[in-house]
Structure 1
Amino acid sequence: IVQGLNQLLSDVDRVVVFCSNEAEADRLRETVPAESRALLKKLTVRMGRVNHGFKLPDIATAVVGHHEIFRRYTVRRSVRKAVRGRPLETFVDLEKGDFVVHVTHGIGRYVGTEVLDRDGTQQEFFILEFRDRVKIYVPSTRVNLVQKYIGGFRGRPRLSVVGGTAWQKKKERVVKAVEELAAELLRMQAVRSTRPGVAFPPDDRYQKEFEAEFIYEETEDQLSVLAETKRDMESDRPMDRLICGDVGYGKTELAMRAAFKAAMNDKQVAVLVPTTVLA
């Protein structure tokens, strides 16, 4: 960054840098090391944005954007929405042969739809097949009772027996397991709240330089979440934060900033990722 600014100043006497917000202006000032502070005297920071820098030879001035100095660019992130386990909204969500879960009867197979006469009214029904080829007709008005099956393993699930007790017992076991997990989480949080956590110091120059290397400009939401995350890290209370967002909105970039902050303060960081691409 300093090298780039000095290169600009080799042709002009002054450089005007346009920043989108005060955070960018602070980043510019703080990134320049102490031994190069004289360089700042030749810089003028203004709020605003220019897409591409230019020079004004008549007044020996160069005008550039913050994003050009830090090689950061705003791009439209590609978003791939992946919605898996959720209640069905229409029949279009299913294909014949798909496994489904009925709230009352358990795991079945979607066979198709059929229009039947019911009390003189034509109505469309889901047809679900269970063990022993028993079929259940679910009216379209009760589609909320059916959910596409998302298993935790590869293979074909075992179909449930309509009228049997196995599905009900399985649901009872799940309810009990969830209650036990909730109780354990509450106990663990109560213990954690009584113990001091690790209070990290405020960002130093290395943190700012690391963050300046990211090529994408942060969105307002990213800046807000990043500030909250660092506030948690710098508090003496144990940190417990979950960042949620759609695919492609920069969650990993925020995680890397937090991981770097911890690593630079002599803490070991474990980064678990679900895909090889993220790794």
Structure 2
Amino acid sequence: MVRRLQESGISVRVASRHPDRSRAIFDANATKLQFVRADVQDDGEVRAALAGCDGAVNAISLYAEQGSTTFESIHVQAARRIAQLARETGMQRFVHISGIGSDPNSSSKYISARGQGELVVKAAFPNAKRLRPAVMFGPDDRFLKPLSVLISRLPIFPMFGKGETRLQPAFVGDVAHAIADLMQAPDTKANAVECAGPDIYAYKELLEIVADAMRKRVQFVPMPFAAWYALARISSWLPNPQVTRTQVELMEIDNVASSKTPGFSELGIRPTSVKDVLPKIICGS
């Protein structure tokens, strides 16, 4: 996202709790790029990070709750705080990254918080652009890359349910392109955009595509969602849980763009197929 904004000629300020970690990702000599510390719980730091900017992107997310850091505190309260402070500074552009399927009425705490986050952002910053990506893929991602690693090691692969959940993965580079466009788009552009790839796959079908690309023979075995929830409950006691309740909840529902909501085509972007990037993702798996 930062690189895409820079390519568009935009000076970028990256605000995070650990700016040194962010700085290490980029060329130390990069121009028009600044790193600052900002804890989303500290209004003073957030206000200072936003000062002098024409626009902001809220890319903060949380997949597992820990102590006082909850879905409510990050996806709702923090989203509201950032949008309000951005509005108070007189900012002209604000992009809030949510996700396809976000629903304030969902029984899932995570999915509900994402949906509520969209509502509070809209209330605090009426012209905010709300971007909802599908599950994203790309080199070193946390979706296809881990799957390729497991497929390379396991002769038998347990699937979420029967592997029937529909997915429409979006290339991270295309999503970054969309964000850059929304930051520069005229106000007539849609305020909500769903970013999904060109192809819809059943989960099992996607696993088979990865296995075929790796030339691996794997037996994909259905595993009831109830068993996954039990595994997530046990895993939650570990320092770095490999399976979380949120992951299971997300895999229990289709992750497909709505035909009623504008998408990549609204921004003139031709989405990238999984098959075009897959060789780079599985390289070294």
TM-score surpassing 0.5? no
Larger Rg: 1
Instruction: Give the TM-score of the pair, scaled to structure 2.
Output: 0.19
